[in-house]
Amino acid sequence: MATEQDAVKVDIEKGAVPTLTTTPILASESHSIYTQKQKRWMVITAAVASTFSPITGNIYLPALNSVAHDLKVSNSVITLTVTFYMILQGIAPTFIGAFSDTAGRRPAYIICFVIFIAANIGLALQNNYYALLILRMVQSSGSSGTIALANACVADLVTSAERGSYIAYTSLSSILAPALGPVIGGILSQYAGWHWIFGFLGIAAVTFFIPFFLFFPETCRVIVGNGSIPPPRLNQSLPTYLLEKRKRREGDIDVFIKRDELAKNRKISFPNPMDVLRIVFSKTAGLVLLSTSLLFSTAYAVMTSIPSQFSQRYGFDDLQVSLIYLPLAVGSTLSAFTTGKLIDRNYRRHAKKLGLTIDNSRQDDLSEFPIERSRIEVSMPIAIVGVVAVIIYGWLVQYNIHLAGPCIMLFIFGYSMTAMFNTMNILMVDLYQGRPASATAANNLTRCLLGAGATAAVIPLIESVGIGWTCTLAAVLWGGFSLPLLVYLMHVGPRWRKESKMKEDAKIAQKAAVCKSKQSPNLATQPHPA
């Protein structure tokens, strides 16, 4: 299979799906200078950073009843704090993702954590509904970018052939956190009061961020290439800063020449959300994003309904409600470590059918590879099982069936949800290898906005038609729309990518011709030699 080539940076037209990676390294060089062990620890560190967004969104779900009582508002009104959190969770990464693709991962991480820590301090000290609502939105804008940054770090370090195994580490934390978060929140709410939920988040963020700030290296490929180019001062960790001082002291400055050349051609501008919106409204990415959004609308509807339903129907307190999220956590954990290996195995199977050789140390050219089919084939049957599990779960809760029944269905849904999300997330990064953070931000935008609508509608809908019909409607919308769209994408995706590549090449050629004509003087205006 062809190895990674340097791509020319162009403004992508609406609907264009780039297939080549934009990097400053040569095709003959390794995709990353780091060892497998180093890459694994860097990915795990980024994964831990990404837990702050989902865990923050769900940690106080078991406390919603207590918060509503203390602030003297209804359950529907207090649910708006979840809804608006998710709206900002979708919007904020459109800015931070594009910023990190040009300025680097470290500056983006610093901005995220500073905002997040400050918001948690405010939330821990307030006692007003409107202060809670506004600070939750600020909190979301700080934490939500960490998921996009984690997936971007994976794309910086890992090739498509092994991405399934590595993405498991990232997705494990982002899927596991929504399930474990409510358990922590339930314990804190029950024994310390709901204000300590935000105090706990602030303390945890500071504890993690200090060593992260000191030691996590810059990985953005437009800045450090495969890791061999020293980062500029803004992107330096403590080890890279000390290494640069030592090299300059020894007179070894050749390595900094390439860095300075790259810096001259790199422009850091205010993030343009239109770049993310172009991804959202492109044909291939649009189908992937719609499918993921319908999945997460179903997931958010189920998770948001748990506190009220299990409190009313089973008489649970905050701590007992929090334990209902554990089956989701177990299913998600099992899925993250099994489906990742299946994704990589299916990738190799398709490569073998095409007679292509895979080198994990170099990024493959996916322009002629059926990447859509190799990813979607893994998740399709698992998604069908998940649809059935959500429907059964709703009716078991509706008729107050023994607790074991809903817990088993939540376990199955957790497994299915993670498998589907992993495959779609990997596919998005494959399609936008040069802009992984922007691709993940587009994913985040669509799923959070639809998820926000689901959280706002789920309680009134349950009060109107019951939990059974609510879950049935959510599952039918998810399965009935997304699965046929993905089958269609498997067939037309490669053709769409070829058409987009042709448009991209034509635009590059046109720009090159314009530049050449501007640089070359018009012969008609030149004086004749004597």
Place of tokens 């994990």: 360
Distance (Å, whole) CA 451 – CA 474:
11
Task: Give which of 157, 146, 155, 147 is closest to 217, Cα–Cα.
Answer: 157
DSSP string, 105-167: HHHHHHHHHHHHHHHHHHHHH---HHHHHHHHHHHHHHHTHHHHHHHHHHHHH--GGGHHHHH
Distance (Å, whole) CA 457 – CA 477:
14
Give pLDDT, residue 200: 94
Query: Quick check: 50 and 147 in contact, CB under 8 A?
Result: yes
Query: Quick check: 411 and 327 in contact, CB under 8 A?
Result: yes
Distance (Å, whole) CA 95 – CA 17:
20
Lookup: tokens for 222: 């437009």
Task: Give which of 376, 350, 369, 371 is closest to 291, Cα–Cα.
Answer: 376
Give pLDDT, residue 271: 62
Task: Give which of 331, 422, 414, 329 is closest to 376, Cα–Cα.
Answer: 422
Determine the Cα angle at 156 with ends 19 and 352, to 5°: 55
Distance (Å, whole) CA 144 – CA 112:
8
Give pLDDT, residue 410: 92
Place of tokens 């993310």: 276
Ramachandran region, residue 332 (left: φ > 0; alpha: ψ -120 to 50; beta: rest): alpha
Give pLDDT, residue 358: 67
Q: pTM, whole model, 2 decimals?
A: 0.68
Give pLDDT, residue 530: 41
DSSP 364: B
Count of Cβ atoms closer than 10 Å to residue 267 Cβ: 7
* Residues of the chain where predicted confidence (pLDDT) is lower than 70: 1-29, 160-161, 163-165, 167-176, 178-179, 252-255, 262-273, 358-367, 433-434, 436-437, 518-530
Lookup: tokens for 299: 């997931």
List of domains in the chain: 36-523 (1.20.1250.20)
Query: Quick check: 436 and 429 in contact, CB under 8 A?
Result: yes
Lookup: tokens for 45: 């560190």
Give pLDDT, residue 118: 95
Query: Quick check: 28 and 5 in contact, CB under 8 A?
Result: no
Q: How many residues does the chain have?
A: 530
